[in-house]
């Protein structure tokens, strides 16, 4: 296959599919063991400085925010990250946790740019930004999930997004067309928030599934937080709903309102005031520090965080009768 051109971006996390197979064979047990633990235990047990991480889905929708806050709380300084996010990416960048980014989108949607990401990139604090499209980043997970080192696609071609990526354009050996090859992306640690999981890590998600299926299968270590830990029987009564099988999972954390201030389909709406206030305050670096001090460093764990949000607020976010 002829390589026609190569992106000049750094391949931050080069894929080694045979090593990944070996890892999955030796480091992932198929025994049905109880993997429940706290955010504090799960993060400190599996996440090491220098690791490459990914967080699904994105900051205002079904994101593992209690785990994200724990990563910040534990003071990591040198993580690399798949940047497809809103609130969670913003917090990691604001707390100076991230050094290199595979970037597709970091912003605040309705409320505009991510001010912390702007500051971190423009000041050079983030050492390396490599560009991708949204589909590209997910397809990189998909390639890893398929157990192959790359996946051919028809996006990013002809653009600066390609030029500053680590993708390659090749001539297709079957059709002669130009294709954009994306390298598989294997995470050291992946973080996913789900509606329900059993203690072994079998997970079910209601509503859209984002890139949970792909990312779960592309993670050497996978930490799950769940709104609810359910009996194995609940999973077994509807196995077609299980999107992540237990053997992919290393830790299961029970985290009700784990997506706060984001939403959780069928369970609760997003905390609009909280998000809006932060988006406004984030223009000022000092106010960001105040926010981190109040909502992350100033509380010990997710329970204390929820106490700070307050029962009244949380109750007002609940969706009655599971309206979709």
Partner 1 sequence: MNAPKYNPNELLISIASRLMEDNATCFIGTGIPMLAASLAQKMHAPNLISMFEFGGIGAQLEKLPLAVGDMRTFNKGLVAAGICDIMEAGQCGFVDYGFLGGAQIDMYGNLNSTIIGGDHDKPKVRLPGSGGGNDVGSTCWKTIIIMQHGKRRFMPKIDFITTPGYLSGPGAREEAGLPPNTGPYRVVTDLCTLGFDKKSKRMKLLALNPGITINDVVENTGFELIIPGKIEQNDGPSVEELRILREEVDQDRYYI
Pick from 245, 203, 194: nearest CA to 57: 194
Cα separation, 149 vs 171, in Å, equals 17
DSSP string, 68-81: HHHHHHTT---EEE
- Which one, 122 or 233, has the nearer CB to partner 1? 122
Which of 134, 237, 280, 300 is the binder for partner 1 (CB under 8 A)? Answer: 134
Pairing of strands 219-229, 203-204: unpaired
Buried b (16+ CB within 10 A) or exposed e, 200-217: bbbbbbbeeebbbbbbbb
Q: Rule CB under 8 A: is residue 2 a binding residue for partner 1?
A: no
Separation between Cα atoms, residue 238 and residue 29, nearest integer Å: 23
**Residue 172-211 contact track with partner 1, rule CB under 8 A, x = bound:** -----xxxx--------------------------xxxxx
Number of residues counted as binding partner 1 (CB under 8 A):
60
Lookup result for tokens 């999973």: 235
93: nearest Cα among 55, 59, 121, 58: 121
Question: Is 265 a residue that touches partner 1 (CB under 8 A)?
Answer: yes
Is there binding between residue 237 and partner 1 (CB under 8 A)?
no
Q: Is 61 in the site for partner 1 (CB under 8 A)?
A: yes
Toward partner 1, which CB reaches closer, 42 or 205? 205
Q: Is 109 in the site for partner 1 (CB under 8 A)?
A: yes
Contact status: 245 vs partner 1 (CB under 8 A): no
Q: Which of 70, 88, 198, 263 binds partner 1 (CB under 8 A)?
A: 263
**158 contributes a contact to partner 1 by CB under 8 A:** yes
CB of 22 to partner 1, least distance (A): 27
Is residue 155 near partner 1 by the rule CB under 8 A? yes
- Cβ-based nearer residue to partner 1, 80 or 133: 133
Question: What are 124's two structure tokens?
Answer: 């050079």
Comparing CA positions, the residue from 236, 122, 209, 142 lying closest to residue 182 is: 142
User: Is the CB of 180 or the CB of 252 nearer to partner 1?
Assistant: 180
Residue-by-residue DSSP string for 147-198: T-SEEEESSSTTSHHHHTSS-EEEE-TTT--EEEEEE---EEEEEEEEEEE-
| Interatomic CA distance for residues 288 and 301, integer angstroms | 19
68 lines the binding site for partner 1 (CB under 8 A): no
Q: Are 194 and 227 in contact (CB under 8 A)?
A: yes
* Cβ-based nearer residue to partner 1, 41 or 127: 127
Applying CB under 8 A, does 153 fall inside the site for partner 1?
A: yes
324 binds partner 1 (CB under 8 A): yes
Give the pair of three-digit tokens for residue 19.
Answer: 């090593």
Choosing from 17, 32, 266, 314, the residue that interacts with partner 1 (CB under 8 A) is 266
Binding site for partner 1 (CB under 8 A): 57-58, 60-62, 83, 86, 103-107, 109-110, 113-114, 117-118, 121-122, 124, 129, 131-136, 138-139, 142, 153-161, 164, 169, 177-180, 207-214, 263, 265-266, 270, 272, 324
């Amino acid at each position: 296959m002829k390589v026609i051109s190569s992106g000049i971006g750094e391949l931050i996390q080069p894929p080694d599919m045979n090593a990944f197979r070996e890892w999955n064979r030796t480091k992932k047990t198929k025994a049905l063991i109880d993997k429940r633990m706290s955010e504090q235990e799960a993060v400190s047990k599996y996440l090491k400085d220098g690791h490459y991480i990914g967080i699904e889905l994105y900051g205002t929708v079904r994101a593992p925010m209690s785990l994200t806050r724990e990563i910040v709380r534990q003071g990591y300084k040198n993580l690399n990250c798949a940047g497809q996010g809103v609130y969670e990416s913003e917090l990691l960048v604001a707390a100076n946790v991230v050094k290199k980014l595979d970037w597709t989108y970091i912003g605040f949607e309705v409320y505009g740019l991510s001010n912390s990401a702007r500051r971190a990139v423009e000041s050079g604090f983030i050492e390396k930004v490599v560009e991708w499209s949204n589909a590209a980043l997910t397809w990189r997970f998909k390639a890893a999930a398929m157990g192959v080192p790359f996946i051919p696609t028809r996006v990013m071609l002809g653009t600066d997004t390609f030029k500053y990526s680590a993708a390659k354009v090749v001539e297709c050996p079957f059709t002669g067309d130009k294709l954009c090859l994306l390298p598989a992306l294997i995470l050291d640690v992946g973080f996913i928030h789900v509606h329900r999981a059993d203690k072994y890590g079998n997970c079910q998600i209601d509503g859209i599934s984002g890139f949970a299926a792909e990312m779960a299968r592309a993670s050497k270590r996978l930490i799950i937080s769940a709104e609810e830990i359910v009996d194995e029987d609940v999973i077994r009564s509807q196995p077609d709903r299980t999107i992540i099988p237990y053997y992919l999972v290393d830790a299961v954390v029970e985290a009700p309102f784990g997506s706060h201030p984001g939403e959780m389909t069928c369970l609760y709406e997003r905390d609009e005031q909280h998000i809006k206030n932060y988006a406004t305050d984030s223009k000022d670096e000092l106010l960001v520090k105040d926010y981190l001090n109040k909502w992350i460093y100033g509380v010990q764990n997710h329970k204390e965080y929820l106490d700070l949000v307050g029962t009244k607020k949380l109750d007002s976010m609940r969706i009655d009768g599971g309206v979709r």
